[in-house]
């Protein structure tokens, strides 16, 4: 690595890092992207497990900064599979000649701010360093896998695969006995496909999840043409919705509807499929009674799909619907009707140990040749804390966030000057359509740096009061309704010992964008510029 300070050093070559590099060039600035993988794509580079696909329509989960690109690119399916998303990321890298400024195979271990020189020095795991005046963590919200310590896991004789670090050459399950740990989105997408070739699949479920059918299909060409005819307006409309994507969000209360009307809407949404399910009423997340109506409807669907009543009951979630991340599937529940698929309830019968060729739970040994860990991620903070980031006055992010994160707008942290986080804790992030939100954040950061350059400012830092007030607001909004009452990765509950607190901002994407715009329009209110 060179030690010439770049204007901007960016960590991560996913959709955020790629676009920021493009914006930096547009500002006439030098930028270097450091990426641990061997190629661009971020989430879609690492998550190559069978069945991995996006659960927001691809016509909406895509870049909008390049109008020619969004007109020319043709998605083949309503919800794109991982290989197509990776191909898209690679295409964008080629189209904008990004790779020449991206350094692959470089995992950043530490970053330190030198106040005298006003420069960040980033150190990679191999000891090499690179410097930049600005430093941006574009490392994603779900990029550090959770690796639970199952007793005896290291004694397992066969291969262990982690969904978020899937081998590039793929995995051949033919004739194998596969143990899958976890039943979140990654498991729900992969289990049906693993079961097609494996001899036996045993799923170890701690918490049953609600899943809605995707009803994925080849992309309707007429629909595509209709959107492309007015793409910028279509995007602008999406930005005005709470989660930042098009879906019909009704405004009336589930409590006021007749049983017939509730049933009618739930059936309609089930037929449509996808993440918009709960949008058929405004307030599923406000009362237990309202939540129960939707939850009961889905439990009935599960019972109607799964033949074995005992398995069906185990698959019926008992917690609130919508508090944990909704899953979207293709044939998930029906897969349990296959003779080669079994479900083990490890809430009732916890895993005792893993041995050379079995997973032991409830006194039974379930034979396995392959172990699949679909156990999720150290969400939101994992990738930021994986780097030892040191700001001014001895501030260390790992210490600062030991009791939970705090940030101004999910973009900046007091005592860490010239450091920006893309979709960090305190921004809507995982409650929105990630790609438009990434673009909004990158545009805000690039515009801010452009503003500083044009006025000869060299340093920007979140003001302590502004950060505290914003974080209080994030917690206040996060406590409204039922969402925070259920253990989920949104509140850090999936990682042992992790501090609890709502990490994403639940106040809505439009309100958040307006706040960011106001802050910028007021000369970066809540920031100290020097």
- 429 makes contact with ligand N01 (CB under 6 A): no
Going through 206-350 in order, the beta strands assigned E by DSSP cover 211-213, 327-329, 341-345
Residues in region 55-94 near ligand N01 by CB under 6 A:
55
- Only one of the segments 19-27, 179-187, 233-241, 500-508 lies at the binding site for ligand N01 (rule: CB under 6 A); that segment is 179-187
- Only one of the segments 21-29, 373-381, 391-399, 437-445 lies at the binding site for ligand N01 (rule: CB under 6 A); that segment is 373-381
- Only one of the segments 140-148, 249-257, 355-363, 498-506 lies at the binding site for ligand N01 (rule: CB under 6 A); that segment is 140-148
- In the bound state with ligand N01, the residue whose beta carbon lies nearer, of 329 and 439, is 329
According to DSSP, the β-strands at 102-103 and 31-34 are: parallel
- 277 makes contact with ligand N01 (CB under 6 A): no
- In the bound state with ligand N01, the residue whose beta carbon lies nearer, of 110 and 193, is 193
Closest of 84, 57, 325, 305 to residue 186, by C-alpha: 325
Number of residues that bind ligand N01 (CB under 6 A): 26
Q: What are phi and psi of 130, to 5 degrees?
A: -145, 145
- In the bound state with ligand N01, the residue whose beta carbon lies nearer, of 165 and 264, is 165
- CB atoms near residue 26 (< 10 Å): 11
Question: Considering the complex, what minimum distance in angstroms separates the CB of residue 487 from ligand N01?
Answer: 7
Question: Considering the complex, what minimum distance in angstroms separates the CB of residue 37 from ligand N01?
Answer: 18
Return the DSSP state at 220. Answer: P
- In the bound state with ligand N01, the residue whose beta carbon lies nearer, of 54 and 343, is 54
Contact by Cβ (8 Å): 198, 20: no
- Tokens standing for residue 375: 């156990």
Label residue 402 exposed, middle or buried (CB < 10 Å: 0-12, 13-18, 19+). exposed
Closest of 265, 316, 257 to residue 290, by C-alpha: 257
- In the bound state with ligand N01, the residue whose beta carbon lies nearer, of 53 and 414, is 53
Contact by Cβ (8 Å): 338, 127: no
- 528 makes contact with ligand N01 (CB under 6 A): no
Instruction: Report the residue closest to ligand N01, judged by CB.
Output: 184
CA distance 441 to 507: 16
Question: Considering the complex, what minimum distance in angstroms separates the CB of residue 401 from ligand N01?
Answer: 20
Of 98, 187, 219, 449, which lies in the binding site for ligand N01, with binding defined by CB under 6 A? 187
DSSP secondary structure, 499-525, as one string: PPS--S--S-HHHHHHHHHHHHHTTST
Residues in region 305-334 near ligand N01 by CB under 6 A:
325, 328
CA distance 139 to 16: 8
- Only one of the segments 123-131, 296-304, 374-382, 406-414 lies at the binding site for ligand N01 (rule: CB under 6 A); that segment is 374-382
- CB atoms near residue 515 (< 10 Å): 17
Contacting positions for ligand N01 (CB under 6 A): 54-55, 142, 146, 148, 163, 181-187, 189, 206-207, 325, 328, 346, 374-377, 430, 489, 494
């Amino acid at each position: 690595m060179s030690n010439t300070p770049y204007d901007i050093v960016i960590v991560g070559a996913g959709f955020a890092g790629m676009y920021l590099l493009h914006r930096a060039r547009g500002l006439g600035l030098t930028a270097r992207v450091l990426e641990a993988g061997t190629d661009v794509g971020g989430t879609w580079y690492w998550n190559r497990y069978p069945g991995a696909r996006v659960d927001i329509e691809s016509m909406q989960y895509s870049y909008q900064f390049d109008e020619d690109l969004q007109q020319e690119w043709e998605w083949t399916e309503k919800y794109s599979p991982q290989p197509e998303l990776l191909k898209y990321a690679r295409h964008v890298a080629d189209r904008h000649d990004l790779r020449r400024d991206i350094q692959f195979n470089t995992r950043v271990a530490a970053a330190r701010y030198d106040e005298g020189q006003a420069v960040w020095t980033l150190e990679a795991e191999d000891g090499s360093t690179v410097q930049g005046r600005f430093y941006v963590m574009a490392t994603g919200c779900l990029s550090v896998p959770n690796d639970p310590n199952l007793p005896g896991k290291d004694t397992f004789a066969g291969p262990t695969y982690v969904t978020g670090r899937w081998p590039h050459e793929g995995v051949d399950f033919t004739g194998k006995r596969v143990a899958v740990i976890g039943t979140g989105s990654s498991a729900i997408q992969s289990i049906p496909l693993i079961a097609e070739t494996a001899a036996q699949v045993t799923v170890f479920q701690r918490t049953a999840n609600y899943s809605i059918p995707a009803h994925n299909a080849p992309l309707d060409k007429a629909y595509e043409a209709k959107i492309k005819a007015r793409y910028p307006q279509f995007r602008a409309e999406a930005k005005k919705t709470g989660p930042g994507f098009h879906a019909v969000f009704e405004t009336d209360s589930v409590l006021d509807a007749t049983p017939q009307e509730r049933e009618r809407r739930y059936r309609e949404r089930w037929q449509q499929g996808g993440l918009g399910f709960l949008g058929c009423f405004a307030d599923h997340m406000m009362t237990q009674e309202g939540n129960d109506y939707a939850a009961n409807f889905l439990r009935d669907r599960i019972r109607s799909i799964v033949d074995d009543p005992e398995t069906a009951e185990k698959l019926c979630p008992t917690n609130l619907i919508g508090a944990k991340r909704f899953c979207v599937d293709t044939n998930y529940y029906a897969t349990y009707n296959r003779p080669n698929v079994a479900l083990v309830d490890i809430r009732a019968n916890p895993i005792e140990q893993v041995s050379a060729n079995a997973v032991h739970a409830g006194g039974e040994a379930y034979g396995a040749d392959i172990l699949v860990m679909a156990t999720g991620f150290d969400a939101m903070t994992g990738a930021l804390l994986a780097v030892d980031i040191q700001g001014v006055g001895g501030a260390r992010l790992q210490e600062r966030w030991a009791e939970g994160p705090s940030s101004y707008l999910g973009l900046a942290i007091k005592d860490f000057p010239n450091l920006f986080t893309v979709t960090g804790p305190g921004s809507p992030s995982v409650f929105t359509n990630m790609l438009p939100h990434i673009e909004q954040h990158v545009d805000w950061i690039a515009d801010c740096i452009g503003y500083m350059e044009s006025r000869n400012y060299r340093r920007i830092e979140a003001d302590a009061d502004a950060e505290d007030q914003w974080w209080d607001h994030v917690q206040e909004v996060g406590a409204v309704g039922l969402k925070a009452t259920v253990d989920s990765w949104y509140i850090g509950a999936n990682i042992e010992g992790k501090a609890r607190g709502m990490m994403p901002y639940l106040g809505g994407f439009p309100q958040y964008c307006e706040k960011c715009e106001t802050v910028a329009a007021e000369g970066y209110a809540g920031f100290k510029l020097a």
